[in-house]
Structure 1
Amino acid sequence: MNIKNNVLFHKKELRQFCNLRFIFGISYSFMIPIIPLFFDSIGISTVVIGTVMSLYGVSKALAQIPFGMVSDAIGDKLLLIISLSVMTFVPFFYTISHTQILASAIYIVQGGILGMAAPATFSILSRSLDEEKRGECTGLASAVFTLGGGIGAAVGGFIVSKYNNYNIVFYITSIGIFFSVVFAVFKIKKSSGTIKKNKPIKKGIKVNSRVKVIFKDIRKYKLGCKIILLGSIAFLGDFIFGCIVSVFPFYGQQVLGASIGYTSAIISMYLFVFGFGAPIAGWISDKIGNKKQLLISFMIMSAALLGLYFVRGLIIFTSIIIIYFLGATFLNAALQSLLSEFGDNDNIKGIVFGVVGAFEAFGYALGPIVSAYIYGLNKSLLFLNLLIVSILVSVIDLILCKKAYIT
């Protein structure tokens, strides 16, 4: 993988998109590791925290499908700017929330706003990549966001652990997201409206006719199994990530005997591994094919989750969870590469990005509440629960991979 041939040097649109994702990744992730601790500090129980984070996922899921259509109607850049502009105010509202109900409501709304932005974000990515290097392009796009996220999560966790002040983190987050809005306005290119393979739906056409065209294309190109498969993989990723973000801070302290700094570092490490590993994972998916990469990723993830179920020592635990993070990184690279292929079809790309994004958000909705409930019953079963879900999705992959024409 020659650095001089890297697509970032040749695709300006992709480079600007990656810059935006890096800025937003740092800014938004300041508050990722501290949200559960913030809720705990105002008296919300672990089970209720899991429930609130699940409702966040529901809100995000419900927003993605309709806003996938909105993205097609008004343009992905405009929708992204609107959603990021609204998101700028969300962290600030945490600083003036004095009740559990208000803080919980803000977090649920936050999920819906991210759901608004998701289809537009992937639509912009799909038109910015190099078709011959899909894996590498999507890997880089994931990398910059998660690498920025790792930096933001580490800083946010450090501020809270050192100064025990949540408001500082929320203020910094709002300021950072504002800068991402400014960058999007001036640097992200507006869609040209041109298409590559398929005739677009004409503007002004009735909604029921638009839906007919969407389903016609899905049947014509036999995309149903592929959409379900990609949705299940997206579901798994956020199911486990939702658990790591919401319940792991308590698991780390109560089961592993670790500090707040350690649990924040693990979340940050999750994002750093994604950040550094995603370009390599994307490049490998271009070389060996997505089918093999999916299989290898599922095997690594399941083996690692089994190890995490038994291990309690911090050194070995940290080593194994890094292996899991690598497996998840390679799985996500294959997912993003396959999903980007839908960008060639203007008729269905918005709805497909919305549907897969909804699966992803639904995983985030179920992950925290199921994990919190199981954690409440038996703290040691947390990672066994994640292993079972991982195995179920890997079985779906084995069943649908051939029908989805994944090579």
Structure 2
Amino acid sequence: MTLLPKMTKSQGIGLLFVVLILFIDMLLYSLLIPIVPYFTETLKPSSTMMGILFSSYAIAMLVATPIFGPISDRIGRRIMLLTGLAGLAFSTLLFAFAESLPLLITARFIQGLAAAATWPTALALLADLFPPKSRGAVMGIALTAISSGTLLGAPLGGWLFEASGHRTPFLAAAGFTVLNILLVALFLQEAPARSQSEQLRVSKFLRHPQVAYIAGIVLLAEIALCLLEPTLPNFLTEKLSVTPAMIGLLFAIMTLAYGLLAPVAGALSSRFNPFLLMFIGICVLAVFIPALALANTLWQASLAMALVGAGVGFTLSPTLATLGEIIDRSGSGAYGIAYSLFNMFHAVGMVAGPLAGGILTDILPVSTVLFVVAGSILGLGILLYVFLRLKQGTAVHAGSHDINM
């Protein structure tokens, strides 16, 4: 089994552009993190306003994704990608020169709108270019690009900030985004836009049992991942006396494990039952989340973070290729709608995860919260899998290539 399938020149160029687009998107998302103390000191925002600043990205993505994904099916991927990249460049420049919190929130909101245009369209472009047997591997590579951008954004932003001020990280990222726009405009080729007869009814697609199962799996994995962000730092600081730098390293380890496992799981999804792989990933995630509460040393915490990240990557990667296969069977080619769904539940998780973490930790100790979350994920994951089995009416055979199960 090879993680990188053989591809034509046009496929290779398309994959390269998707990797660059998703990488810069998440690089910009995490670039703000090390600069937050500067804005906190200069603008004196309340905790509520800072919460609004960070949640505005996910809210914008949630609102705009169901609009932009179907549009990309009608007008083509290239135009939508260029529109999203232009929005990213504009929002990044707005970050660089914003001198008030409302402007920062506006920049973050526009960034979320731009991500709603680029994410589902980039993934749909891969589905256009690659056949089903290769799609799992390339979707895993796309997820690795996402995790790599997340991993590098914060340290790169911190280094540029310390080197030459708070505007430099955003100006450098804006320049990289503009370069990306030029490359896409000059070199990207795509399949023609879909005719009206090829378009897909969203309501019918959402009622599909396999789609409902994937939506639930994505939501569980994203909530679990995003719930850790506001709860773990203080918990690990108090328990293990780690520094902020070490907290950053622990989350980097989790992100790295996510990125490394995603292509592996994607490649496996073209050879084995993808729904079973998703279920195994959710079970692994649920088993290892409590390890975060039980860790008594930095090495144990590092291992637990790596296992949790690997569980999320293993869970999410098969969902992307499988959504594409469901679209293939419908005969519509409307991949924009399929990946809009992924993006929507990703955004819901980004909003609901931190909110759930904050509410639960106000009621229970963090260690108890981690066990509660693990039990909930495992129980809901089992219910989702039983639901799918009942809906399909046939047994799941490990190693089956039949997506109909």
TM above 0.5, one fold? Answer: yes
Counterpart of 2:96 in structure 1 is 95
Cα distance between partner residues in 2 of 1:354 and 1:113: 13
Bigger Cα displacement from structure 2, 51-60 vs 120-129? 51-60
Change (3 A) 1:378 1:53: farther
TM-superposed deviation, 1:57 = 1.6
What one-letter code is carried by the residue in structure 1 that aligns with 2:181? V
What one-letter code is carried by the residue in structure 2 that aligns with 1:329? G
Q: Give CA-to-partner distance per residue, 1:154-213, whole Å, 9 cap, x none.
A: 4334545x559443322222122222222222232122347xxxxx5249xxxxxx78x5
Counterpart of 2:316 in structure 1 is 332
What one-letter code is carried by the residue in structure 2 that aligns with 1:305? I
Kindly indicate whether the alpha-carbon contact (under 8 Å) linking 2:253 and 2:302 is maintained by their aligned counterparts in 1.
no
User: Which of residues 306, 313, 337 is equivalent to 1:351?
Assistant: 337
Change (3 A) 1:39 1:148: closer
Kindly indicate whether the alpha-carbon contact (under 8 Å) linking 2:84 and 2:115 is maintained by their aligned counterparts in 1.
yes
Kindly indicate whether the alpha-carbon contact (under 8 Å) linking 2:289 and 2:308 is maintained by their aligned counterparts in 1.
yes
Cα distance between partner residues in 2 of 1:92 and 1:47: 24
TM-superposed deviation, 1:124 = 0.5
Q: Give CA-to-partner distance per residue, 1:107-157, whole Å, 9 cap, x none.
A: 233212211223312211111223223322222232234335434444334
Q: Give CA-to-partner distance per residue, 1:342-370, whole Å, 9 cap, x none.
A: 44243653333323321221111212233
Change (3 A) 1:227 1:186: same
TM-superposed deviation, 1:322 = 0.1
TM-superposed deviation, 1:290 = 1.2
User: Which of residues 202, 207, 210 is equivalent to 1:226?
Assistant: 210
The SS at the match of 2:129 is coil
Aligned-residue CA RMSD in angstroms? 3.1
How many residues align? The count is: 387
User: Which of residues 18, 31, 37 is equivalent to 2:15?
Assistant: 18
TM-superposed deviation, 1:389 = 5.0
**1:397 equivalent in alignment to 2:394:** no
Counterpart of 1:35 in structure 2 is 32
TM-superposed deviation, 1:298 = 1.5
Instruction: Tell me the TM-score normalized by structure 2.
Output: 0.83
Counterpart of 2:304 in structure 1 is 320
User: Which of residues 330, 343, 355 is equivalent to 1:369?
Assistant: 355
**1:190 equivalent in alignment to 2:160:** no
1:293-304 counterparts in 2 under 5 A? 293-304=277-288
Counterpart of 2:400 in structure 1 is none
Bigger Cα displacement from structure 2, 109-118 vs 316-325? 109-118
What one-letter code is carried by the residue in structure 1 that aligns with 2:63? L
Counterpart of 1:179 in structure 2 is 179
Counterpart of 1:380 in structure 2 is 366
**Structure 2 residues without counterparts, runs of 5 or longer:** 393-402
Q: Give CA-to-partner distance per residue, 1:254-309, whole Å, 9 cap, x none.
A: 55433332233334333322332222222222333213312321221111111112
Kindly indicate whether the alpha-carbon contact (under 8 Å) linking 2:65 and 2:117 is maintained by their aligned counterparts in 1.
yes
Cα distance between partner residues in 2 of 1:202 and 1:406: 24
What one-letter code is carried by the residue in structure 2 that aligns with 1:176? F
TM-superposed deviation, 1:321 = 0.9
Q: Give CA-to-partner distance per residue, 1:369-391, whole Å, 9 cap, x none.
A: 33234445566256346435523
Kindly indicate whether the alpha-carbon contact (under 8 Å) linking 2:231 and 2:366 is maintained by their aligned counterparts in 1.
no
Counterpart of 1:128 in structure 2 is 129
Cα distance between partner residues in 1 of 2:169 and 2:230: 18
Cα distance between partner residues in 1 of 2:52 and 2:378: 24
Change (3 A) 1:229 1:376: same
Larger RCO, structure (CA 8 Å, separation 6 or more):
1
The SS at the match of 2:271 is helix
What one-letter code is carried by the residue in structure 1 that aligns with 2:370? F
Counterpart of 2:397 in structure 1 is none
**1:58 equivalent in alignment to 2:62:** no
Instruction: Tell me the TM-score normalized by structure 1.
Output: 0.82
What one-letter code is carried by the residue in structure 2 that aligns with 1:391? L
Counterpart of 1:258 in structure 2 is 242
The SS at the match of 1:88 is helix
Kindly indicate whether the alpha-carbon contact (under 8 Å) linking 2:87 and 2:110 is maintained by their aligned counterparts in 1.
no
Counterpart of 1:207 in structure 2 is none
Q: Percent identity?
A: 15
TM-superposed deviation, 1:84 = 0.8
Counterpart of 1:206 in structure 2 is none
Change (3 A) 1:182 1:268: farther
Change (3 A) 1:292 1:125: same
Kindly indicate whether the alpha-carbon contact (under 8 Å) linking 1:54 and 1:368 is maintained by their aligned counterparts in 2.
no
**Structure 1 residues without counterparts, runs of 5 or longer:** 195-199, 204-209
What one-letter code is carried by the residue in structure 1 that aligns with 2:358? A
Cα distance between partner residues in 2 of 1:108 and 1:61: 11
